[in-house]
């Protein structure tokens, strides 16, 4: 790409460092800003800087938060005896949007993945185990994605908890609500039969 | 989307105001920045701000530029008697990357499009006509996209130039180099026959 302007080139280079954004898209975005009032660029730059510099990780669950203890952990109406273990912040948001879970979370920050050089000590597993050993927690729900890495991570945590009497469970895998059986993959369909639930349970909507 | 953090929500909202970027993509981009050194966010924010605040439009061709007269207009090796009329900055970059054009440009800033509320006075047509009437320019090459709006704009400029003896041309439309005839649309194929070129010309590569 031939740039007639260093300022433009710089802006395009920086934007194209974001994942999934190539040079052409970056150019389109940057030129779009030029057609908008300059306050928009200002607000964008400021929001990103403030976010990056002021955001905290909750000292208890490692969810991102504006304060030392996140909204969810600080909410005394939530049940601190049940903890849902997730990979990252987006999973917390996804589960929160269902309004079906009133316990707390623990954000691992990823999955154990030797291929990517991520070991147990790169995640927040130690603080989870410590929390369980302190005795308040009665149940852990593993809500990691069902990949080899996810299963490995679940199992690693499970082994670390030997000797405690915490209950562990994983979220149910099965046919998505509204999906046709014939299009489901065999593994999912198979699991949905093995893990069938009493019919009365399926009548509950909330 | 349920945000547990105002800082995150703000950043996501600002990023998702960019065209083609939804809330989910914005969230992914913003969380990516959190995993990078904070200098990356700083450089991104600074590059955008500097670009937006310091960028100029070339006083002659309206191309974006770091200085009052852009690199291309300031280059005395280029031929000021032939001007290529384009819609926007990206078209200048595309033509420059071919290294086939040694004249100057004129960036209109769009096309006449009553549907979008864009009239001739929203574009830089007046300054183009003035430039031509000053007498130095011998040829205008219209390189707008071949849509109704593009053709309208070409024709509007053409009428404004009545009485001057400037030559006008449009870039050639035809089958792209390397394309199969059978997949070409009829209009393009038809034009490529009407505007056929002497065989010897097709032997020139540059």
Instruction: Give per-residue pLDDT as tens, A92-136.
Output: 999 998 888 999 999 999 999 999 999 999 999 999 999 999 988
Whether the per-residue pLDDT at A2 is higher than 80: the answer is: no
* Domain A70-171 listed as CATH 3.30.1330.60: no
- CB of A23 within 8 Å of a chain B CB? The answer is no
Q: Which residues contact B126 (CB under 8 A, 6 or more apart)?
A: none
Structure tokens that stand for B30 in this block: 């913003």
- A1/B19 Cβ within 8 A: no
- CB of A60 within 8 Å of a chain B CB? The answer is no
- The conformational region for residue A10 under phi > 0 = left, psi -120 to 50 = alpha, else beta, is alpha
From B91, which residue of chain A is nearest by alpha-carbon distance?
Answer: A2
Nearest by CB: B32 against A19, A32, A53: A19
In this structure, of A96-110, B90-104, B191-205, the range with the lowest mean pLDDT score is: B191-205
Angstroms from A85 CA to nearest CA on chain B: 17
Per-residue pLDDT band for A193 (boundaries 50, 70, 90) equals confident
- A54/B10 Cβ within 8 A: no
| Better pLDDT: A96 or A178 | A96
The pLDDT value given to residue A206: 52
Per-residue pLDDT band for B205 (boundaries 50, 70, 90) equals low
- DSSP letters along B68-112, please? SS-HHHH-TTSEEEEEEEESSHHHHHHHHTTT---EEEEE-SS--
Q: Average pLDDT in the A88-94 region? A: 91
The pLDDT value given to residue B103: 94
Whether the per-residue pLDDT at B206 is higher than 60: the answer is: no
Per-residue pLDDT band for B19 (boundaries 50, 70, 90) equals very high
From B38, which residue of chain A is nearest by alpha-carbon distance?
Answer: A52
Angstroms from A10 CA to nearest CA on chain B: 6
Per-residue pLDDT band for B6 (boundaries 50, 70, 90) equals very high
Average pLDDT score over chain B: 91
**ipTM for the whole complex:** 0.82
Nearest by CB: A44 against B43, B46, B48: B48
- CB of A17 within 8 Å of a chain B CB? The answer is yes
The domain segmentation of chain A, as residue ranges, is: 6-54, 70-171
pLDDT tens column, A7-42: 999 999 999 999 999 999 999 999 999 989 999 999
Per-residue pLDDT band for A205 (boundaries 50, 70, 90) equals low
The pLDDT value given to residue A186: 84
Nearest by CB: A52 against B33, B54, B66: B33
The pLDDT value given to residue B183: 83
Average pLDDT score over chain A: 91
According to CATH, the superfamily of the domain at B6-54 is RecR Domain 1 (1.10.8.420)
The pLDDT value given to residue A174: 85
Do A128 and A85 contact (CB within 8 A), yes or no?
yes
From A97, which residue of chain B is nearest by alpha-carbon distance?
Answer: B2
From B29, which residue of chain A is nearest by alpha-carbon distance?
Answer: A18
Coil, strand, or helix at residue B189?
Answer: helix
- DSSP run (H or E) holding B65: strand B64-65
Q: Which residues of B touch A2 (CB under 8 A)?
A: 93, 96-97
Q: Which chain B residues in 167-206 lie under 8 Å from chain A, judged by CB atoms?
A: none
Per-residue pLDDT band for A78 (boundaries 50, 70, 90) equals very high
In this structure, of A22-26, A184-188, A200-204, B64-68, the range with the lowest mean pLDDT score is: A200-204
Per-residue pLDDT band for A56 (boundaries 50, 70, 90) equals very high
Whether the per-residue pLDDT at A203 is higher than 80: the answer is: no
- B52/A38 Cβ within 8 A: yes
The pLDDT value given to residue B150: 92
- B53/A88 Cβ within 8 A: no
CATH class, B65-171 region: alpha beta
The pLDDT value given to residue B178: 81
- A96/B11 Cβ within 8 A: no
d(CA A206, CA B19): 37
| Better pLDDT: A62 or A178 | A62
Burial class of A100 by CB neighbour count within 10 A (0 to 12, 13 to 18, 19+) = exposed
Q: Which of A17, A43, A44 to mutate to test the interface with B (most CBs of B within 10 A)?
A: A44
Least Cα distance to B87 among B117, B112, B70, B65 occurs for B112
Angstroms from B125 CA to nearest CA on chain A: 18
Angstroms from A206 CA to nearest CA on chain B: 19
Structure tokens that stand for B163 in this block: 């009485």
In this structure, of A68-82, A132-146, A178-192, B130-144, the range with the lowest mean pLDDT score is: A178-192
Q: What is the residue whose two structure tokens read 């047509």? A: B125
User: pLDDT above 70 covers what percent of chain B?
Assistant: 99
- The dihedral sign for the CA sequence A173, A179, A184, A190: positive
Coil, strand, or helix at residue A120?
Answer: helix
């Amino acid at each position: 790409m031939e740039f007639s302007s260093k300022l433009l080139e710089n802006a395009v280079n920086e934007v194209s460092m974001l994942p999934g954004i190539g040079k052409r898209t970056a150019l389109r975005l940057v030129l779009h800003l030029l057609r908008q009032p300059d306050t928009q660029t200002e607000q964008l730059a400021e929001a990103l800087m403030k976010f990056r510099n002021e955001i905290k990780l909750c000292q208890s669950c490692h969810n991102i938060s504006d304060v030392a203890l996140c909204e969810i952990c600080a909410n005394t109406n939530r049940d601190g005896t049940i903890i849902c273990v997730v990979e990252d912040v987006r999973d917390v948001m996804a589960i929160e949007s269902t309004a079906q879970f009133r316990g707390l979370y623990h954000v691992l920050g990823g999955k154990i993945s030797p291929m990517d050089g991520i070991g147990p000590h790169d995640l927040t597993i130690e603080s989870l185990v410590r929390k369980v050993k302190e005795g308040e927690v009665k149940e852990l729900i593993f809500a990691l994605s069902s990949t080899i890495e996810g299963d490995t991570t679940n199992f690693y945590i499970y082994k670390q908890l030997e000797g405690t009497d915490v209950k562990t469970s994983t979220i149910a895998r099965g046919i998505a609500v509204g999906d046709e059986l014939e299009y489901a993959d065999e593994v999912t369909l198979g699991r949905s039969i093995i893990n069938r639930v009493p019919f009365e349970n399926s009548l509950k909507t909330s």
